[in-house]
Amino acid sequence: MRLVSTSSPTDTIYCGIAIGSGTRHEFDTESGIAHFTEHLTFKGTQRRTSRQIITRIESVGGDLNAFTGKEETIYYCACHRQHLARALDILFDIVYHSTYPQAEIEKEVEVVIDEIESYNDSPSELIYDDFEAQLFQGHPLGRNILGDKQQLRRYTHDDIQAYAQRQYIPERSVLFVYGNVSQQQILNSLPTKAMPQATTTLIDTPITAPIHTTTPGTYTYDKGTHQSHVMIGAPSFGGNDPRHLALYLANNILGGPGLSSRLNLALREKNALVYTVESTLTTYTDTGVWAVYYGCDHHDVKRCQRLVERELYRLVDNPLSPRTLAAAKRQLTGQIALSYDNPESVAIGMGKRMLHYNRTLSLQTLIERINAITSEQVLEATRQVFNPEHLTILHYT
């Protein structure tokens, strides 16, 4: 098991266990099992009931939580540093010694199905999942994290136990700690109970399945929504691809969180066609997804699409001027620096990087790499991904 830690000046500890167990590690018969296992991990261990798990950290004012992605499941905790041993003990207990009681499975499946229905009632969120399903059709990356309702109802204790034994092992895990403690203090605080070992089934997971993306085109679905929801995008670069950072910079110019993004100025500020427009970049280890989302009146869809394509052509056809490039770097590095004021996000990001890439990345190094990006690199990246002639469009009406 790998350990990564970084010191911080505060007395609050942010720690967790990142596991290489996500949606893309499910077999075809295991739709939603990664996320379902995450829920059930809180429902009882060899030493604790579900109530004792909940209160173990909350009783000292801390917080215990988890989430599942396409390539990882993260269990994390925040507490005062004097309770580090308590936090690590509960994390190791639930991750490696959960019992997944059948009675809890039968109750929790209804909670997850309610979660699925809540997404179905929110088209502006659902479209992100449906877009990846369209883009990576037939591949585990295209599978919805929450899973299929009918399949979820079929899972038993044996199914969950088998999945956990295959995935929840130290060799697939990273312990991350962000706080005012040394690595020796962390090691001294680790629980001593034995953990499970790797099994031969580890190599059978579909992580190596080839990725075939859908043929670019427009796909329209009648959702009966009050307004149209549209997503336009394409596959992008994996986290190890050297072009990724240049595309990250270009995406921030195009439709990042700032109100001054080109898409926000074109669609909202100048033409009042949308309330929300944004472009996002989702990165996996070996591929990624770039997409633009907007919601508008049904009769404005084509006009909005033309405006989006116009902004794409601006980035694809012409290199950024030195002044524009410098301003874009200044904005992005400032946003990243501000994000480092969220210690929980910093801790989780550190754990995920070590899990997937076996390395860490300091704020200073990241800023240096962004400042080294050239306009030629941005142009090459955008021509690979932003080309309006090779995009997939998903349209809810």
Contacts of 82 (CB under 8 A, 6+ apart): 11
> Taking Cα atoms as reference points, which of 31, 43, 38, 52 lies closest to residue 106?
43
- Residue 168 clears pLDDT 80, i.e. is over it: yes
Q: What is the pLDDT of residue 304?
A: 98
Do residues 98 and 45 touch, judged by C-beta distance below 8 A? yes
Pick the residue with more confidence: 204 or 390?
Answer: 390
Structure-token match 């979820």, residue found: 152
In the chain, the percentage of residues whose pLDDT exceeds 90 is 90
Q: What is the pLDDT of residue 193?
A: 78
In the chain, the percentage of residues whose pLDDT exceeds 70 is 95
- Residue 97 clears pLDDT 70, i.e. is over it: yes
252 backbone dihedrals φ, ψ, rounded to 5°: -65, -35
- Residue 285 clears pLDDT 50, i.e. is over it: yes
Sheet holding 228-236, edge to edge: 218-221, 392-396, 228-236, 288-296, 277-283
Give 76-88 pLDDT, tens digit per residue.
999 999 999 999 9
Structure-token match 């195009």, residue found: 254
Q: What is the pLDDT of residue 210?
A: 58
Give 37-65 pLDDT, tens digit per residue.
999 999 999 999 999 999 999 999 999 99
Give 172-228 pLDDT, tens digit per residue.
999 999 999 999 999 999 998 777 776 545 444 444 455 666 678 899 999 999 999
Do residues 380 and 207 touch, judged by C-beta distance below 8 A? no
Position 29 confidence tier, pLDDT thresholds 50, 70, 90: very high
Q: What distance in Å separates the CA atoms of residue 65 and residue 84, rounded to the nearest whole number?
A: 16
218-396 CATH choice from 3.40.50.920, 3.30.830.10, 3.30.70.660, 3.40.50.1100:
3.30.830.10
Model confidence, pTM: 0.93
Angle of helix 301-317 relative to helix 375-385, nearest 10 degrees? Answer: 140
Identical topology for domains 2-195 and 218-396: yes
Q: For the chain, what are the domain ranges?
A: 2-195, 218-396
Tell me the residue type at 42: F
CATH topology of domain 2-195: Cytochrome Bc1 Complex; Chain A, domain 1 (3.30.830)
Give 348-372 pLDDT, tens digit per residue.
999 999 999 999 999 999 999 999 9
Position 267 confidence tier, pLDDT thresholds 50, 70, 90: very high
The arithmetic mean of pLDDT across residues 338-351, rounded, is 96
Q: What is the pLDDT of residue 160?
A: 98
Q: What distance in Å separates the CA atoms of residue 209 and residue 51, rounded to the nearest whole number?
A: 40
Q: What angle do CA 131, 116, 55 make, to 5 degrees?
A: 125
Q: What is the pLDDT of residue 196?
A: 76
The arithmetic mean of pLDDT across residues 245-252, rounded, is 98
What is the average pLDDT score of the chain? 94
